[in-house]
Structure 1
């Protein structure tokens, strides 16, 4: 059996950029997306507006980068790319749990779910592309192992992302219809069924 390969490295941020992104995280948790302005970022990070504008064109750009960093951090918690269907299914369920527990994403899921329409549902952004690359690499390895069905890994990854994303974003909507254990069990079955040869 092949050894699991290291997961791709998330983007690296310079110290000044990190200060701005830390400020964005704090603002999102405290006030939501609408509280993230260049002026608020400057105040919270202790940096000047021109310094922020050297990297980002506007506050929306900073929010997108902050969300990308959060996803990169979550993916970075996996030490290796899954190489079997069972390992990939486990990783996807673990990722959804980490995503839902993350301070920034939990705040958005609970208080501002419409933010996901803007940042994830209107177009495929850099955060989703990072997830898709992670999934496609694992799908390819699972195919070589023989436990994942044939097909273009990138295409299978897109549908896996849609399945998991829909389940996470709709979780609160169906909480009265399905308990947490059942939600996890059914998501696991959906993901496993999509990958099974």
Structure 2
């Protein structure tokens, strides 16, 4: 019993330490960008030693990926129940894009470091994308059972839906002079709905 309490306590300290380091990464990305996230800067910002950081991550890039994953997970916490109809799924994806674009860290990357955003989110399917894909797949599958989403492989449809949403978010600033926010959202809604419609 006593040993179990010690294990739980140690695990809690590890979780708290990791959160502290990720909080430091968030601040550094917002203030200095991706290149400002170094092990030395993380140690200073979190008031922890470099060996402590290395016990949790292999390098600064690994910390950045974990910080971005945590932010995606927090956005998805805004959707505790998966959509079960096409209409709600479309609403949820549009709301997700808004939350994503206005997230302090992701907004910084999109505005000032689009190449870093591309590297961390588009060049390969990482943990953040897999988390989003799982969320989309679950909702698409539920909406297919409702008969409001066309038949087909829900995982494949989730991939295409993610590509559409990611592309729209990444290009938003680029096309801002050509299309206002209301029209952008309306056309993105039509694209998503068209992909899913039976």
The CA RMSD over aligned residues, in Å, is 1.1
Give aligned pairs, total. 186
Q: How much does 1:79 deviate?
A: 2.1
Q: CA–CA distance in 1 between the matches of 2:77 and 2:172?
A: 24
Alignment partner, residue 15 of structure 1: 16
Q: Which has the larger radius of gyration?
A: 2
Deviation at 1:64, TM superposition (A): 0.2
Of structures 1 and 2, the one with the larger relative CO (CA 8 A, separation 6+) is 1
> 5+ unaligned residues in a row in structure 2: which ranges?
1-11
User: What is the correspondence of 1:29-178 to structure 2 with a 5 Å cutoff?
Assistant: 29-178=30-179
- Please list the CA deviations of residues 45-95 of structure 1 after superposition, one character each: whole Å capped at 9, or x if unmatched: 011111111110000000000000000000011121000000000000000
d(CA) in 2 for partners of 1:186, 1:43: 45
Partners of 1:81 and 1:122 in 2: CA distance:
27
Alpha-carbon distance between aligned partners in 2 of 1:118 and 1:164, rounded to the nearest angstrom = 17
Q: Tell me the TM-score normalised to structure 2 length.
A: 0.92
Scaled by the length of structure 1, what TM-score is found?
0.93
What's the offset of the Cα at 1:146?
0.4
Name the residue aligned to 1:8: none
Query: Unpaired segments of 5 or more residues in structure 1?
Result: 1-11
SS at match of 2:124: coil
The structure where helix makes up a greater share of residues is: 2
4+ aligned runs moved over 2 Å, structure 1: none
Deviation at 1:121, TM superposition (A): 1.6
